[in-house]
Structure 1
Amino acid sequence: MGKWTLGVLFAATVCGISSIYLPQPLLPLLAEAFGASQATASLAVTATMLPLGLAPLVYGFFLDAVPARPLIALSLGLLGATTAALPFCADFKVFLALRVVQGLAVPCLLTALMTYLSTSVPPAAVRRVMAAYIAVTVLGGFSGRFFSGLTAHLFGWRFPFYCLGATIAACCLACLALPPDGRSAFLPIRLRDAPHVLAKPGFLTTYLIVALLFFVFSGMLNLLPFRLGELDGGYSPLRAGAMYCGYLMGIVTCLTSHRVSGRLGGPAGAMAMGAAVVIGAAGLFAVPATWAVFVSVFVLCTGMFMAHSVAPGVLNSAEAEHKGLVNGLYISFYYSGGALGTYLPGLVLGRLGFGAAAAVLVAAAAAATALAVGLRRSGPLPGSLGGRGGGR
Structure 2
Amino acid sequence: MNKWTLAVLYAATVCGISSIYAPQPLLPVLATHFGVTESTASLTITATMLPLGLAPLAYGFFLDAVPAKPLIAASLALLALCTAGLCLAPDFTWFLAARVGLGLLVPALLTAVMTYLATTASAASLRRVMAAYIAVTVFGGFFGRFFSGLAAELLGWRIPFVGLAVCLGLGAALALWLPPDGRAAFSPMRLAHAPQVLRKPGFAATYLVVALLFFVFSGMLNLLPFRLARLEGGYSPLRAGTMYSGYLMGIIACLTSHRFARPLGGPTRTMALGAGLVIAAVAVFFLPSPTTLFGSVFVLCSGMFLAHSVAPGVLNGAEKAHKGLVNGLYISFYYSGGALGTYLPGLVLGRYGFGAAAGTLAAAATAAALVAARLDVRAFPGDVAVK
TM-score by length of 2: 0.99
The corresponding residue for 2:232 is 232
Q: 1:296 to 1:132 in 2, by over 3 A?
A: same
Q: Do the aligned partners of 1:315 and 1:383 also contact (CA within 8 Å) in 2?
A: no
| Deviation (angstroms), 1:280 | 0.1
Q: 1:271 to 1:389 in 2, by over 3 A?
A: farther
The CA distance in 1 between the partners of 2:258 and 2:314, in whole Å, is 10
TM-score by length of 1: 0.98
The corresponding residue for 2:269 is 269
The CA distance in 2 between the partners of 1:160 and 1:195, in whole Å, is 41
The CA distance in 2 between the partners of 1:390 and 1:91, in whole Å, is 51
The corresponding residue for 1:373 is 373
Q: Which amino acid aligns with 2:158?
A: R
Q: Do the aligned partners of 1:317 and 1:383 also contact (CA within 8 Å) in 2?
A: no
The CA distance in 1 between the partners of 2:12 and 2:356, in whole Å, is 38
Runs of 4+, deviation exceeding 3 Å: none
The corresponding residue for 1:304 is 304
The corresponding residue for 1:141 is 141
Please list every run of 5 or more consecutive structure 1 residues that lacks an aligned counterpart in the other structure. Answer: none
The CA distance in 1 between the partners of 2:167 and 2:79, in whole Å, is 11
- Alignment RMSD, CA only? 0.7
Q: Do the aligned partners of 1:314 and 1:383 also contact (CA within 8 Å) in 2?
A: no
Q: Which amino acid aligns with 1:321?
A: A
Match runs of 1:21-36 below 5 Å: 21-36=21-36
| Deviation (angstroms), 1:187 | 1.1
The corresponding residue for 2:44 is 44
The corresponding residue for 2:207 is 207
Q: Do the aligned partners of 2:119 and 2:185 also contact (CA within 8 Å) in 1?
A: no
The corresponding residue for 1:17 is 17
The corresponding residue for 1:293 is 293
The CA distance in 2 between the partners of 1:239 and 1:6, in whole Å, is 33
Q: Which amino acid aligns with 1:128?
A: R
| Deviation (angstroms), 1:381 | 2.0
Query: How many correspondences in the alignment?
Result: 387
Q: Deviations over 1:322-355 (max 9, x none)?
A: 0000000000000000000000000000011001
Q: Do the aligned partners of 1:59 and 1:328 also contact (CA within 8 Å) in 2?
A: yes
The corresponding residue for 1:343 is 343
| Deviation (angstroms), 1:389 | 3.9
Please list every run of 5 or more consecutive structure 2 residues that lacks an aligned counterpart in the other structure. Answer: none
Q: Deviations over 1:68-122 (max 9, x none)?
A: 0000000000101110110111111011001001000000000000000011011
| Deviation (angstroms), 1:382 | 3.1
The corresponding residue for 1:216 is 216
The corresponding residue for 2:189 is 189
| Deviation (angstroms), 1:261 | 1.1
The CA distance in 2 between the partners of 1:28 and 1:379, in whole Å, is 44
Q: 1:83 to 1:52 in 2, by over 3 A?
A: same
* SS, match of residue 378 in structure 2: coil
| Deviation (angstroms), 1:383 | 4.9
The corresponding residue for 1:178 is 178
1:388 is the counterpart of 2:384: yes
Percent of matched pairs sharing the same residue:
67
1:124 is the counterpart of 2:120: no
